[in-house]
């Protein structure tokens, strides 16, 4: 008869409380976030190796992650700056977040608490952002240095709360998450990051269409209100949303054209996972002063830095994760359970992230990709066994 190791329960508590700290710190303190998740990963690995109290979960995305890791390593070997590429390999250390969250959240109660902490943290972040705007209304809401990160954080937060508001059956939680969605959306509006707006808008259409298709009729009204409520100083960003000659639109097209020229000269494995400013200087027109360290698009940046091999691996990884979350959602046909609701939220977050990624290097933004992998882990958690059917009829 197998007995439980005396340390196993303690390590399980370490993982659980580390994940609580992790969820609370994500919008505010990347250092605390890293420390908390590192403790959780180490405790989880100790459970697997030493106490035999846990196992490495098979999530169905292992080959996709392996392909991307291989592409990163291959590009590193041929990098134009080996030292910097070795440093940037640290982004691969974020991948275990998916596994420690999926395996470490072992019951519905822990999932519920972890989700509430995460949402409360982003809601608090949104309140801080709105307050900072009213204190200085000429400046877009920022996160440390830039508004794109603030937009990504609030895009993810609003997507999660909308998914839970639409999917859970308990009235008190639906109301709570509806209010949280309004608050977080207010902050998202004030970041004036159009890529994040678009990511949320597409995710919201998906969520509303999946849950209550008739509500799609109010989408034009909400879009009109969004347009009218935009602060006047930011209104041109909406009016010129699709104007290729306007401001940052023209800049992005110019940056991408430079990226294309670099890619044509390094088509197989790219220039290496490095800052792109030195290479950009070589290809930019004479006298250009605005030199970029990344290409403001996941797909362009990956093509330049990792080449065709890396871009293929990146697209494979994205597709595999999206398909696996969708498969997980179909495994449980009931909607009120927190597991099913979080799986839907994870699918919508991944959709929003990748739409936003057309216009921003959010895969390289540690705050954002950490949240994405966190939500992915919750969406793929092992709490709903294969073949289990929940108690309510499907709406998907």
Contacts of 49 by beta carbon, 8 Å cutoff, 6+ apart: none
* pLDDT over 80 (residue 215): no
The neighbour count for residue 139, using CB atoms within 10 Å, is 13
Helix (H, G, I), strand (E, B) or coil at 204: helix
b/e per residue, 183-214, with b = 16+ CB within 10 A? bbbbbbbbbbbbbbbbbbbbbbebbbebbeee
User: 31: how many CB neighbours lie within 10 A of its CB?
Assistant: 8
Q: What is the pTM of this model?
A: 0.92
Give tens-digit pLDDT for 224-260.
Answer: 777 777 777 777 777 777 778 888 889 999 999 999 9
Q: Is 324 helix (H, G, I), strand (E, B) or coil?
A: helix
C-alpha 257/C-alpha 255 separation (Å) is 5
The helix/strand count (H/E) of the chain reads as: 16, 0
Query: How do the domains of the chain map onto residue ranges?
Result: 1-55, 56-246+289-379
Please measure the distance between the N-terminal and C-terminal CA atoms of the chain and give it in whole angstroms. 44
What is the secondary structure of 30-69 as a DSSP string?
HHHHHHHHHHHHHHHHHIIIII--------S-HHHHHHHH
Summarised one tens digit per residue, pLDDT across range 188-205 is: 989 989 999 999 999 999
Cα separation, 284 vs 265, whole angstroms: 14
Give residue 106's pLDDT band: very low, low, confident or very high (50, 70, 90): confident
pLDDT, tens digit (0-9, with 9 covering 90-100), for 37-73: 999 999 999 988 888 777 888 999 999 999 999 999 9
């Amino acid at each position: 008869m197998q007995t439980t190791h005396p340390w196993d329960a303690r390590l399980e508590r370490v993982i659980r409380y580390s994940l609580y700290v992790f969820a609370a710190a994500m919008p505010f303190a990347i250092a605390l976030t890293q420390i908390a998740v590192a403790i959780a990963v180490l405790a989880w690995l100790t459970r697997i190796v030493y106490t035999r109290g846990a196992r490495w979960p098979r999530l169905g995305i292992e080959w996709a992650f392996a392909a991307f890791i291989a592409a990163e390593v291959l590009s590193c070997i041929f990098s134009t700056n080996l030292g910097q590429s070795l440093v940037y390999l640290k982004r691969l250390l974020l991948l275990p977040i998916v596994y420690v969250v999926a395996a470490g959240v072992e019951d519905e109660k822990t999932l519920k608490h972890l989700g509430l902490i995460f949402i409360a943290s982003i809601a608090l972040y949104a309140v801080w952002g709105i307050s900072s705007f009213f204190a200085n209304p000429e400046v877009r809401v920022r996160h440390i240095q830039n508004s794109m990160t603030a937009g990504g954080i609030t895009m993810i937060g609003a997507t999660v709360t909308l998914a839970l508001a639409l999917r859970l059956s308990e009235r008190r939680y639906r109301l709570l998450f509806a209010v949280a969605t309004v608050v977080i959306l207010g902050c998202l509006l004030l970041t004036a990051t159009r890529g994040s707006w678009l990511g949320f808008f597409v995710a919201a259409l998906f969520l509303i269409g999946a849950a209550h298709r008739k509500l799609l009729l109010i989408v034009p009204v909400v879009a009109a209100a969004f347009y009218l409520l935009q602060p006047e100083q930011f209104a041109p960003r909406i009016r010129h949303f699709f104007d290729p000659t306007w401001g940052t639109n023209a800049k992005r097209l110019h940056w991408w054209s430079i990226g294309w020229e670099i890619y044509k000269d390094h088509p197989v494995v790219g220039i290496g996972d490095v800052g792109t400013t030195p290479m950009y200087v070589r290809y930019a027109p004479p006298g250009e002063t605005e030199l970029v360290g990344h290409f403001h698009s996941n797909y362009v940046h990956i093509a330049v830095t990792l080449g065709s091999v890396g871009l293929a691996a990146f697209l494979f990884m994205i597709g595999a994760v999206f398909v696996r979350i969708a498969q997980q959602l179909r495994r449980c046909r009931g909607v009120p359970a927190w597991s099913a609701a979080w799986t839907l939220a994870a699918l919508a977050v991944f959709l929003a992230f990748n739409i936003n990624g057309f216009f921003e290097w959010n895969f390289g933004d540690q705050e954002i990709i950490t949240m994405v992998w966190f939500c992915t882990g919750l969406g793929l958690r092992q709490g709903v066994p294969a073949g289990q059917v929940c108690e309510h009829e499907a709406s998907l």
